[in-house]
Amino acid sequence: MIRFEQVSVTYDDAAAPALQGVDLTVPEGELCLLVGPSGVGKSTLLGTVSGLVPHFTGGTLHGRVTVAGRDTRAHRPRELADVVGTVGQDPLAHFVTDTVEDELAYGMESLGLAPDVMRRRVEETLDLLGLATLRDRPIATLSGGQQQRVAIGSVLTTHPEVLVLDEPTSALDPGAAEEVLAVLQRLVHDLGTTVLLAEHRLERVVQYADQVILLPAPGAAPVVGDPAEIMAV
């Protein structure tokens, strides 16, 4: 579960806060879609979950964000790796190794897991994401949808309770986008992972969502509902 309590974020030299007084709960084991026009604060809200805000992107955070009971501000993003996994829009920006298998293993390195646990988790994740036949492939030779699945896999090996994705399909064609969204839906249903996904194109993702959070305008209170209710707004 993710809880936002009176969350406001102001960036230096900005006239108005990027987020103001946000109170929200993202239930455990649901795929929650965060939608709203560009510049409304979606990335900022995701950043408060992963700890990027305020530790890396700057900004002043008021209020409290907790993930599985942990206050994200009290930890560096790396210390939250076993709680929150983060995936951005460009999978290539995410990668630090050359092959699929190395990339899946890399995410666990800071956790101090035993080698046999790490090996088991790599196998489990290759199977879960349908990547087993690609394990030795250089990531650069994969399709966009495959690369995005590897990026998701590399954070899943830490067994995060929450997966946060910022426009993960924006660089993908519709077929590859469906491939990625279907994988996310499976994680929610089979593993009980909580997924928070920001997207400005509602139509592309709404059918996969359990709950939708709409940020209608900068500084405005979020509107929360099931997909049908939000489509009617």
Looking at 91-99, 119-127, 140-148, 202-210, which segment touches ligand ADP (CB under 6 A)? Answer: 119-127
Q: Give the binding-site size for ligand ADP (rule: CB under 6 A).
A: 21
Both tokens of 152, joined, read 């998701």
Closer residue to ligand ADP (CB): 76 or 119 = 119
Rounded to a whole number of angstroms, the minimum distance from the CB of residue 100 to ligand ADP is 16
Pairing mode of beta strands 223-225, 84-87:
unpaired
Site for ligand ADP, residues 46 to 85, rule: CB under 6 A: 57-58
Both tokens of 183, joined, read 């994988």
Determine, following the binding rule CB under 6 A, whether residue 193 of this chain makes contact with ligand ADP.
yes
Give the residue, chosen from 2, 87, 121, 204, that forms a contact with ligand ADP under the rule CB under 6 A. Answer: 121
Pairing mode of beta strands 194-199, 223-225:
unpaired
- Nearby residues of 183 by Cβ (< 8 Å), 6 or more positions away: 129, 130, 149, 152
Check if the beta carbon of residue 67 is closer than 8 Å to that of residue 79: no
- In three-state secondary structure terms, 65 is strand
Determine, following the binding rule CB under 6 A, whether residue 115 of this chain makes contact with ligand ADP.
no
Looking at 40-48, 64-72, 74-82, 221-229, which segment touches ligand ADP (CB under 6 A)? Answer: 40-48
Kindly state the DSSP code that residue 147 receives in the 8-state scheme: H
Determine, following the binding rule CB under 6 A, whether residue 124 of this chain makes contact with ligand ADP.
yes
Both tokens of 230, joined, read 């939000």
Looking at 74-82, 117-125, 140-148, 222-230, which segment touches ligand ADP (CB under 6 A)? Answer: 117-125
Rounded to a whole number of angstroms, the minimum distance from the CB of residue 141 to ligand ADP is 25
Other beta carbons within 10 Å of 117: 12
Closer residue to ligand ADP (CB): 12 or 228 = 12
Check if the beta carbon of residue 39 is closer than 8 Å to that of residue 18: no
Determine, following the binding rule CB under 6 A, whether residue 14 of this chain makes contact with ligand ADP.
yes
Q: Quick one: which H or E segment has residue 161?
A: none
Closer residue to ligand ADP (CB): 41 or 91 = 41
**Amino acid (one-letter) located at 80:** L
Binding site for ligand ADP (CB under 6 A): 11, 14, 18, 36, 38-44, 57-58, 117, 120-121, 124, 156, 159, 191, 193
